[in-house]
Structure 1
Amino acid sequence: MMTLEDLIGLLDPLEYLAGRTPLKEVHALTADSRQAVEGGAYFALRGYVTDGHHFISDALSKGVGVVVCEEIPVSVDERCCYIRVADCRTALAAAAAEWFGHPASSLRVIGVTGTNGKTTTARLIRTMLDRSGVKTGYIGTGQALIGDESIVLERTTPEAMDLHALFRKMVNCGCEAVVMEVSSHALVLHRTEGISFYGAVFTNLTPEHLDFHATMDEYGSAKQILFRQVAPDGFGIVNADDAWGSMMAGAFSGSRLFCCTVGSQVFGCTNGSVVRARDIEARMDGSSVTVQMNGRACRASFLLPGLFNVMNMLEILSAGVAMGLSLETAAASVADVVSVEGRMEPVSDDGGLFSAIVDYAHTPDALEKVIGALNEVRPADSSLIVVFGCGGDRDRSKRPLMGGIAAAGADHVILTSDNPRSEDPEEILDAIASGITEGSFMRIADRADAIVCGVQMLRPGDLLLIAGKGHECYQESGGRKSYFSDREVVARALQERAD
C-alpha cells in the first residue's frame, strides 16, 4: 500500500482537493473504472478512443477515495480526494513504479522497437541470454514469458501498472534481465515513462500506424523516445541499412552504439561500431553468414530464411556482445532456434509433400520482404501462392500498396479477410484490389475458404504463404472475436490434400 501523503508528494499536483475524510492509505491503483475498488485511486487516462474522465463517476460508485485527473469535474464527490496533474499517464507511470518498489531498477531492461521484426528479435535475444546463463523475461506480442510461465497480454507493451507488475514478478522469480517489445503507441502514451533502459534496438521503420501518427516523421520521433531513455552505461543497436537508423542513433547518448548492415550504405554510425554481414548463404531451411564486429569475424548459422532475418540476427548477436557474451557464444546459443510462432513458420502435411508458410506480415514492407525471401529460396520451376488481407479500422493507405506488392511478387494471389472489425470485408478487398494493375487474382472473403483454395492450388514443390495474422488465434468482425488459427486451418487442409 501507499499513503495518500506519499502519492501526493510523488505526483507533485497542480491542484489538490481534499475530501471530507481523506484516506490515510491508498489500497489499489487502476486506470480502469471497472477494476476500481473501495479505498483505491483511479487515474483518468485520456486514450486514443475513450477518455477516462468520462468514467470518474463509475469509479466513484465503486468506492475509490482518490481520483487523479487532468480536469477536476464540475461536480465533485465530497468523500473523495482529487489530484489534478498535467499528464495522467506520466503520473500513473510514476505511481506504478513506486507501488511495485521500482522493480525495473533491478533488471537490465532491453527495449526492441521498429515496425517489423520486433518479436523475432526480442524473443531470440531472450533465448540467447537464457541459454548463456542470464535468466531473462520477455514482454511482447501476445504474451509475457517468465521462466516456463506464459502470461497472455492484450497489448504488445502493457499499461504502466501491468508492466511494473510483470517486472516485479520477474525480479521475484530471479530474472536478471528482460527483453520487451516497445511500441510507438506505448512510447507516446508514456507507458514506459521513467524506465532507464539498459539497451535499445531499432529494427526498421516503414509506413504503419499512420491512423495514430499523422506523418512518418511523427512516427519516427515516437521511436526515438526509447533511445533517449537508455542509461549512460547502456547500449544502442540500429539497423544502419534503414534511412531512419540515423534518427535513432542521433537520439542515443549511451556509451555503446552498434550499427548493423547487410548492404553497403550505412546510415547514422559516426560514433558506433559497424557490424557487417558477409558471404551470405540463404536457404529455405535457414541461412549462414560471416559476422564482422570489432575486428573479429565469426561464421554464424541459423534456422531463419531471408535477408531480413540476417539483419535480425546481426542485431541479436550485437545485443549478446553488448551484454558481455563473446560473438562465438552468442552465435552458438541461437544456431538451432526454430522460427517464432507465426513468423515465417513452416507448416506441412505429415509426408512433407505440400508446404505452407504462416507469417504475421501485415505491412507493405513486411509482405514485400517475406515474398522476396521465399522467392530467393524456392525452386525455379515452382509457384508461390499468397493469401492475405488487410485489417479493418486501421491505416487504409497501405491496402492498395499491399495488393500491388503481392501481385508483383507472387504467381497467384488470393485476397481475403484479415480482421475486418467494423468494416465491410468486400470494401476492404476493393481497396486492396485497386492496387493490382496487372496479373490476375481471386477474391474469397471467408479466410478459411481462401486458405483451403490456396492449398488446393498447390503442386509438389510449390509454396503457399498465408500472411497477416501469424500467431493470432482469433478473427475480429462486427464487434465480435471468434477463434481462428491460420496454422490450424492450413495444417488440416494440407493433410486432407495429401491424403
Structure 2
Amino acid sequence: MKPIGRRDQERQQGAADAAVPLTRLLEAVPNLLGVSSGRADEDGWIRGLTADSRSVRPGDCFVAIRGTRLDGHAYVDEAVRRGAAAVVVDRPEVSRRLASLEPRLPVVLVGDSRLALAWMAAAWYRHPSDALHVVGVTGTVGKTSTALYARQLLETAGIPTGAVGTLGIFTSTGWRPSELTTPDPMTLQAALRDMADEGLHAATLEVSSHALLQHRAASVRLRTGVLTEMAPHEHVDVHPTFEAYLQAKARLLDLLDPEAILVYHAGNTHSRTLAARWPAPQRIGYQLRDGSAALGVGPSEGEGARVEGRIRGLDLSGIALELHVAVDARPALTMPVHLSLVGPQAALAAVGAAAVALAMGVPPEALRHGLAGLHPLRRRTEVLMREPFVVIDDTAAHPASLERLLGTLAACRARGIVLLMGIRGSRGVEINARNGQVVAAWSHRLPIEAIVVTDAEEAVGPRDRVLPEERRAVLSALASGPIPPLHLPGLEQAVAAALHRIRPGGVLVMTGTQALDGAASLLLRRLGREDGAGRAEV
C-alpha cells in the first residue's frame, strides 16, 4: 500500500465543500447555547473549520477549545484578525466581550467546545460514519493489534475496510501517519469521508482514553465496540486514579448504536465489568487459554456468543491455535488454525479480531482462511530477522505489555537474550519504575545476557523527553535484578551497543514506544539490510 501523497493529504484536510452555511454545522451540535451576535443564517457562510488560530483563513470558523497547556479562548482575537467568519466558544465572558467588539460576527456559545467541534466536523464532512460500519476499539493492551487484525480478517472475507489508529490512517488508496492514536475530529472525519467515498464498507478505529475524555470521536457512529484488556498505571498524568481511567474507557459505550454488538475480553476483570453495562444478548466475550486447560466455551447467561482460543504450541515461527466458537445453546464450533504470529498476546488479539469478524457476519470458513493469512504488524512482536540471530521489535512500554512480551520469550524458549529498552519519557516515575521492576523480575527467570537502556534523546520530540527522575526510576529498579543495566542517552549508541552484545543464535529484543520507533531502521542499516518499505502496511 502506497503512502498518500501531498495532494491527497490536502484533499483530506481541506473543505468538504467550497462553503457551507454555519446553520448546517450548528444543527448537529447537541450542546448549543446560542448565537450571541451576528446572524448565523445571513452572515455565517463557512469555508473552513479549525481549532488552531494560526491556521485560520478568511471565511473559516474558529472553535476555541481548552487544551491541557493552552486555552484557545486566549486566541479568539487573533482568529478574528485573520478573517474568521464565526467563532465558537464555551466561556460566556469571552462570548459577551467578543459580541460587543464584533457585533456582526456570529459568536456561538456552547456547553463544551470540544464536543461542539466533534459534531461540527462530522457535519462538515456529511456524517461519513453513517455510511460505514465503524468498529471502535479501546483498552490498555491490544488495541492496535486487535483493530488491525480485524481489518485483515474483514478484508479477506470481502468486506473492504479502512483503519485509523496508532499505526496511521489506512484507506483503499494509501496510508499516512497519524500523530495521535485517535486523531483530532477534523482529521478523523476527513479520513472516514475518504473511506466512504472510496466505497469501503467498514473501518476500525482505535479510541484512546484521551480521545474519549476530549470527545474526539463523540460524533462517530459505532456499530461494533471492542474492549480489550484494561490494566492500571496507564496515562497516570491524565487520569488521577485507575477508576477515573476506567470511567473514561466506559465512555465508549456512549458512542455505540443501540443495536451495536460489544466484543470484550472476558478474561479481564475490568473489561468484563464494563461490558456488563451493555445488554447481554448484544455481547460477545473472547479469551485465550494456554495449554490443555478445559474450555468453558459457552456464553455467559443471556450473552450472544463466546469465542475462545487454546494454544496447542508456539515458538518464534508461529502459533498452533484451536478456536472454539459458541453461539447461544448450539454446540461449539472448533477450528484448528496456524497463526504466522509470535506469542500469546498476538494470539489473544487474533481471537478478539475473530470475535469482531463473527459479530459482523463473517462465516466460519472465511474466518479460518483469514486467520491463517494474518501477517504481523509493525512493532507488535515483529520479527525483523531470524539469522544469524533473531531480532524482535515491540512497542511494549507498559508493565502489562512487558509481562506478556517477556512471557512470550519464555514460552518460545528464547536463548541468549539481549534487551534494548527505551525509557518512557514524560510519562511519570511510577510507570517507569514498574517497567524496570518487571524486567528485573524476569531477569531471574530468562537467559538475559545484557540490558541496554536508552533515552533515545536524538529521536524523540519535546513531549517524549526523558526526565532525570524517570531515568533514575528505571535504572534503580533494574539494578535490583541480576543483570546490571547499561544506560546510553542516544538511540544510535544504544543500538550499536546491543548489536555488539548479541551472539549468533541469540535473540535481540527492542522494546519501547516513541523512544524506539526508529531503532529498527538504525539496526538494519548497520547490518547492511534493507528496512522493508512495507513495514508500515497492514
**Which residue does 1:433 correspond to in 2?**
475
Q: Which runs of 5+ in 1 are unaligned?
A: 476-483
**In 2, Cα distance between equivalents of 1:25 and 1:253:** 43
Deviation, 1:14, is 2.2
Deviation, 1:171, is 0.7
**In the alignment, is the contact (CA less than 8 A) between 2:25 and 2:124 conserved in 1?**
no
Deviates most, 247-256 or 201-210: 247-256
Deviation, 1:427, is 4.2
Deviates most, 122-131 or 243-252: 243-252
Deviates most, 179-188 or 338-347: 338-347
Deviation, 1:337, is 2.8
Deviation, 1:150, is 0.6
Q: Please list, as runs of the form range in 1=range in 2, the aligned pairs for 1:137-176 lying within 5 A after superposition.
A: 137-176=162-201
**Which residue does 2:455 correspond to in 1?**
417
Residues 10, 120 of structure 1: CA spacing in aligned structure 2 closer, same or farther, 3 A cutoff?
Answer: closer
Which of 36, 40, 49 is the matching residue for 1:17? 36
**In the alignment, is the contact (CA less than 8 A) between 2:54 and 2:79 conserved in 1?**
yes
Which of 273, 278, 285 is the matching residue for 1:252? 278
**In the alignment, is the contact (CA less than 8 A) between 1:235 and 1:254 conserved in 2?**
no
Residues 270, 468 of structure 1: CA spacing in aligned structure 2 closer, same or farther, 3 A cutoff?
Answer: farther
3-state SS of 1:334 partner: helix
**In the alignment, is the contact (CA less than 8 A) between 1:42 and 1:67 conserved in 2?**
yes
**In 1, Cα distance between equivalents of 2:369 and 2:74:** 54
**In the alignment, is the contact (CA less than 8 A) between 1:228 and 1:252 conserved in 2?**
no
**In the alignment, is the contact (CA less than 8 A) between 2:58 and 2:85 conserved in 1?**
yes
User: Which residue identity is paired with 2:151?
Assistant: R
**In the alignment, is the contact (CA less than 8 A) between 2:264 and 2:284 conserved in 1?**
yes
3-state SS of 2:120 partner: helix
3-state SS of 1:14 partner: strand
Residues 119, 395 of structure 1: CA spacing in aligned structure 2 closer, same or farther, 3 A cutoff?
Answer: same
Which of 42, 58, 69 is the matching residue for 2:89? 69
Deviation, 1:426, is 5.1
Residues 98, 129 of structure 1: CA spacing in aligned structure 2 closer, same or farther, 3 A cutoff?
Answer: same
Residues 221, 460 of structure 1: CA spacing in aligned structure 2 closer, same or farther, 3 A cutoff?
Answer: same
**Which residue does 1:458 correspond to in 2?**
502
**Which residue does 2:63 correspond to in 1?**
43
**In 1, Cα distance between equivalents of 2:527 and 2:467:** 26
Deviation, 1:278, is 2.5
User: Which residue identity is paired with 2:361?
Assistant: G
Deviation, 1:184, is 0.8
Which of 112, 125, 133 is the matching residue for 2:137? 112
**In 2, Cα distance between equivalents of 1:158 and 1:247:** 28
**In the alignment, is the contact (CA less than 8 A) between 2:226 and 2:263 conserved in 1?**
yes
Deviation, 1:162, is 1.5
User: Which residue identity is paired with 2:455?
Assistant: S
**Which residue does 1:398 correspond to in 2?**
431
1:307 and 2:333 correspond? no
User: Which residue identity is paired with 2:509?
Assistant: L
Which of 60, 74, 92 is the matching residue for 1:54? 74
Deviation, 1:255, is 4.5
**In 1, Cα distance between equivalents of 2:170 and 2:162:** 6
**Which residue does 1:317 correspond to in 2?**
354
Q: Deviations over 1:339-364 (max 9, x none)?
A: 11111111237xx1122111111111
Q: Deviations over 1:220-241 (max 9, x none)?
A: 1111111332223321111111
3-state SS of 2:134 partner: strand
**Which residue does 2:405 correspond to in 1?**
370
Q: Deviations over 1:54-78 (max 9, x none)?
A: 1111211111021110114264231
**Which residue does 2:20 correspond to in 1?**
2
Residues 255, 395 of structure 1: CA spacing in aligned structure 2 closer, same or farther, 3 A cutoff?
Answer: farther
3-state SS of 1:59 partner: helix
Which of 237, 249, 252 is the matching residue for 2:263? 237
Residues 242, 416 of structure 1: CA spacing in aligned structure 2 closer, same or farther, 3 A cutoff?
Answer: same
**In 1, Cα distance between equivalents of 2:211 and 2:34:** 27
**In the alignment, is the contact (CA less than 8 A) between 2:156 and 2:366 conserved in 1?**
no
User: Which residue identity is paired with 1:416?
Assistant: T
**Which residue does 1:445 correspond to in 2?**
489
Deviates most, 305-314 or 19-28: 19-28
Residues 106, 9 of structure 1: CA spacing in aligned structure 2 closer, same or farther, 3 A cutoff?
Answer: closer
**Which residue does 1:361 correspond to in 2?**
396
Residues 86, 458 of structure 1: CA spacing in aligned structure 2 closer, same or farther, 3 A cutoff?
Answer: same
**In the alignment, is the contact (CA less than 8 A) between 2:422 and 2:512 conserved in 1?**
yes
**In the alignment, is the contact (CA less than 8 A) between 2:44 and 2:106 conserved in 1?**
no
User: Which residue identity is paired with 1:385?
Assistant: V
**In 1, Cα distance between equivalents of 2:82 and 2:241:** 41
User: Which residue identity is paired with 1:491?
Assistant: L
1:408 and 2:446 correspond? no
User: Which residue identity is paired with 2:53?
Assistant: S
Identity percentage of aligned residues: 27
3-state SS of 1:340 partner: coil
Which of 400, 421, 432 is the matching residue for 1:388? 421
**Which residue does 2:52 correspond to in 1?**
32
3-state SS of 1:54 partner: helix
**In 1, Cα distance between equivalents of 2:260 and 2:374:** 27
**In 1, Cα distance between equivalents of 2:280 and 2:83:** 45
Residues 65, 318 of structure 1: CA spacing in aligned structure 2 closer, same or farther, 3 A cutoff?
Answer: same
**In 2, Cα distance between equivalents of 1:340 and 1:348:** 14
Aligned residues: 481
Deviates most, 89-98 or 418-427: 418-427
Q: Please list, as runs of the form range in 1=range in 2, the aligned pairs for 1:114-129 lying within 5 A after superposition.
A: 114-129=139-154
Deviation, 1:178, is 0.5
Q: Which runs of 5+ in 2 are unaligned?
A: 1-18, 327-331, 530-538
User: Which residue identity is paired with 1:459?
Assistant: R
Deviation, 1:95, is 1.3
**In 1, Cα distance between equivalents of 2:461 and 2:169:** 27
1:201 and 2:201 correspond? no
**In the alignment, is the contact (CA less than 8 A) between 1:103 and 1:171 conserved in 2?**
yes
3-state SS of 2:312 partner: strand
Q: Please list, as runs of the form range in 1=range in 2, the aligned pairs for 1:333-352 lying within 5 A after superposition.
A: 333-348=370-385, 352=387
**Which residue does 2:533 correspond to in 1?**
none
3-state SS of 1:435 partner: helix
Q: Please list, as runs of the form range in 1=range in 2, the aligned pairs for 1:205-284 lying within 5 A after superposition.
A: 205-206=230-231, 207-253=233-279, 255-263=281-289, 269-272=300-303, 273-284=305-316
**In the alignment, is the contact (CA less than 8 A) between 1:236 and 1:252 conserved in 2?**
yes
**Which residue does 1:481 correspond to in 2?**
none
**In the alignment, is the contact (CA less than 8 A) between 2:36 and 2:106 conserved in 1?**
yes
User: Which residue identity is paired with 1:288?
Assistant: A
Residues 7, 125 of structure 1: CA spacing in aligned structure 2 closer, same or farther, 3 A cutoff?
Answer: closer
3-state SS of 2:440 partner: helix
3-state SS of 1:262 partner: strand
Residues 451, 492 of structure 1: CA spacing in aligned structure 2 closer, same or farther, 3 A cutoff?
Answer: same
